[in-house]
Structure 1
């Protein structure tokens, strides 16, 4: 099978770019050619351009191309609508870019780049989605355009259970925020997006067979998409950042890693909530009190409360945390402002539990490190991930009250549960098995490698029946 050229097309935002970089590295390891085309609208903050240059510096083998896009015409719209509008307006730039390449064998799309399907159709290029979250989320999303019209808005249903074909019951309030109100713009945009996913030739999912058998059976049986074929699903994960030895390939090793070096094995609770995870001042106080009363060591990445971030990009920890907290816990705790190298931290042998927002990258990194999780979902599909992680995969426990406010006693109780109890020990044993199964999946002959080879064969069949050149 000859070398193919893949164009990877992430959605806006660093959270969507990072999984695409992992996919690019995976394709390169398999001898394929890769270009990542990143939309660069004039109205985004400089973070995205910075992220691209940082990722490009850390991954010199990957070609990045910035595509100019006009600003979304309705900048006051909901971010989800804004994002899809901007990506649709980038279609001409994407079309020109694809035409400028000698050949394009496939376009691999982020799930928000739904309108790029039109460019792929026009140019005769096979399009696949790269779904960077759980297969369970995909099963739910594919069914939503058919299910949602028959029930009230999720926000009116609260704790009532929602039942999607082949999936465990899910509380309505654990469905993504963007679909809570069925009359709203974001919900209409998401349903449009989910309904078009089956137009692709297939979906590559960043998961592995052993972890999500129930979701994969539902997808394979075609029960998620009534009345039309479900695209072929290829579980090719876990694709995660390997940590690059503690400095992301550039610069010095982060100070928190040296601090972890001095802690006993599996003794530290790590708290980190993704690039957008921020809490109110009152909630930060409760987390601090809970950590202090648990008596356990901790490493905590903390941000300023959302309403203070423009004024105080660096959190003022002395003011935000309880009086004397930093002094009282300095021998067993470390609070880092804003950012830690998460991929390296979760792999560190001193870390024994991970309090996480349940972003899928974070969950996979923890699985690859055999690290039990305490779930605190915040946004996007994280509430859904929590349901699957706690009830289906049994690799995590959830914090009570995460929907509104988590009390110090609950933080204390869940930290102790994972670190001290028999239930915590069983969780660690389950994670040790999950890690082993993840490593098996990505080995030669493992389920994810086999699925990836099938994806390439499917593409080969397409190219032999039609000319994959873009003119």
Structure 2
């Protein structure tokens, strides 16, 4: 490979988890690194189906390469050919898929060995893995490579999430409010636990898995975060102090649009043009966008109440609607899952637009008519909403989404919660009141707009001064160059734990 101006070349390996919400931030990072360090090869590791979908996105990035890793699942309760979480129909199946990913370690070790041999015996300078693939730190360090996890959630939520699974405080008390020995001053309500957390037992598989990945990541040589300093500065500082390693907040890692080659295999229920034309018929800040992300949905009873409330609110809405839990992703949507005549009424009045399975979310949130986002509070959706200045109506469903919602409501003031989980009881009147509250209110919209401007500043150069995320990315790139320079001079890589 031809060396760049610095005389340094090498390989950086990116290994995202095989889930849509985890994959996209890694793809954005790959593009940024390819542009910042063109003398380096950026190798994206994933399963064949994922690579087939993402390869078109990198046609103009010649230094980005792909390496396939075959996932042979031994869990009989999972589809033998599952290569990502898209086809899994329950949260328990997704959880088992995460646990099964640890079986990739021997294959990943062989892959890094092959990369090392193909580069004349030089191992990758750095392996950037998903936070739930923390076991890759041992592979990295065994070859003399550095290791850095990319957290696709923020440190505020991840600190609470890790602490819950580490200490299982819900098993130690019957109280409604839970505290944590390693997070002084942080309190959550028992209703902010996912189903799996509520049912956790001693030596719970999810607890063991999370503890292992957390401990692996703490042996890494630093951590990358898809977040922005202005959103959670104190949590970033606390993470840096507790690990004693560099922390780089380089977010938001978001695609520029939802173009065909950026959809990672997702087929839109309606084209971006149809959505835009429909939104053009509505005034600014008058439409609520409803979506529970790529992996979540709600039961039929809640779906019917949500539909009733959206209609009763009198406000316009776009709803990305998916089959309820327990039904196959590809199964036809049934009319009985919604109130009788609902779709005909909202279509005739031009009050609502239903989008099956997938929607061009960035284009929708960027439209001036959108005034609120009823969201599951997945971190990618949070960043997309805040980067467009759109306040959030929170309905967290699983995992760390409850703590993203907590951050948004209690710390940032840009969210109000409608419900928690899929066991919560809501009625149409609750939905209607909350939608009107946010669309007609001014304070949350003002705070959201302030955050939008600050997030833009983080990834911009203003009067010659780079924003916080650009500075963090620069520092990470220089650190990687320094690691590569040490190796190019004939020395061994000085990795953590040596």
**TM-score, shorter chain, exceeding 0.5:** yes
Matches within 5 A, 1:307-346: 307-309=326-328, 313-316=331-334, 318-330=335-347, 331-346=350-365
**RMSD of Structure 2 on Structure 1 (CA):** 2.9
Conserved 8 A contact 1:353-1:372? yes
CA distance in 2, matches of 1:313, 1:468: 58
Among residues 201, 214, 218, which one is paired with 2:234 in the alignment?
214
Deviations 1:99-118 (A, max 9, x none): 25525221111011122112
Kindly indicate whether residue 186 of structure 2 is the aligned counterpart of residue 165 of structure 1: no
SS in 2 for 1:90: helix
Conserved 8 A contact 2:272-2:360? no
Kindly indicate whether residue 479 of structure 2 is the aligned counterpart of residue 458 of structure 1: yes
Conserved 8 A contact 2:170-2:178? no
CA distance in 2, matches of 1:101, 1:411: 58
SS in 2 for 1:300: strand
In the TM superposition, residue 454 of structure 1 has moved relative to its aligned partner by 1.7
CA distance in 2, matches of 1:401, 1:6: 40
In the TM superposition, residue 97 of structure 1 has moved relative to its aligned partner by 4.0
Query: What is the aligned partner in structure 2 of residue 439 from structure 1?
Result: 456
Residues 179 and 457 (structure 1), Cα distance of their counterparts in 2 relative to 1, 3 Å cut: farther
Query: What is the aligned partner in structure 2 of residue 129 from structure 1?
Result: 149
CA distance in 1, matches of 2:434, 2:132: 35
TM-score, scaled to structure 1: 0.87
Query: What is the aligned partner in structure 1 of residue 312 from structure 2?
Result: 293
Query: What is the aligned partner in structure 2 of residue 226 from structure 1?
Result: none
Q: What runs of 5+ residues in structure 1 fail to find an aligned partner?
A: 41-47, 223-228
Kindly indicate whether residue 28 of structure 2 is the aligned counterpart of residue 38 of structure 1: no
In the TM superposition, residue 393 of structure 1 has moved relative to its aligned partner by 1.9
Report how many residues are paired: 449
TM-score, scaled to structure 2: 0.82
CA distance in 2, matches of 1:337, 1:425: 31
Conserved 8 A contact 1:270-1:299? yes
Conserved 8 A contact 2:162-2:210? no
Query: What is the aligned partner in structure 1 of residue 247 from structure 2?
Result: 233
Residues 167 and 39 (structure 1), Cα distance of their counterparts in 2 relative to 1, 3 Å cut: farther
Residues 72 and 296 (structure 1), Cα distance of their counterparts in 2 relative to 1, 3 Å cut: same
Question: After alignment, is 443-452 or 366-375 more displaced?
Answer: 443-452
In the TM superposition, residue 36 of structure 1 has moved relative to its aligned partner by 4.3
Matches within 5 A, 1:308-457: 308-309=327-328, 313-316=331-334, 318-330=335-347, 331-402=350-421, 404-405=423-424, 406-420=426-440, 424-444=441-461, 445-457=466-478
In the TM superposition, residue 322 of structure 1 has moved relative to its aligned partner by 0.8
Query: What is the aligned partner in structure 2 of residue 44 from structure 1?
Result: none
Kindly indicate whether residue 278 of structure 2 is the aligned counterpart of residue 259 of structure 1: yes
CA distance in 2, matches of 1:243, 1:168: 37
Query: What is the aligned partner in structure 1 of residue 83 from structure 2?
Result: none
CA distance in 2, matches of 1:36, 1:413: 49
CA distance in 2, matches of 1:98, 1:64: 11
Residues 221 and 425 (structure 1), Cα distance of their counterparts in 2 relative to 1, 3 Å cut: same
Q: What runs of 5+ residues in structure 2 fail to find an aligned partner?
A: 1-5, 79-94, 494-498
Query: What is the aligned partner in structure 2 of residue 57 from structure 1?
Result: 56
Conserved 8 A contact 2:287-2:317? yes
Residues 125 and 468 (structure 1), Cα distance of their counterparts in 2 relative to 1, 3 Å cut: farther
Conserved 8 A contact 1:254-1:340? no
Query: What is the aligned partner in structure 2 of residue 71 from structure 1?
Result: 72
In the TM superposition, residue 466 of structure 1 has moved relative to its aligned partner by 3.8
Deviations 1:10-37 (A, max 9, x none): 1122222111111112223324445343
In the TM superposition, residue 57 of structure 1 has moved relative to its aligned partner by 1.6
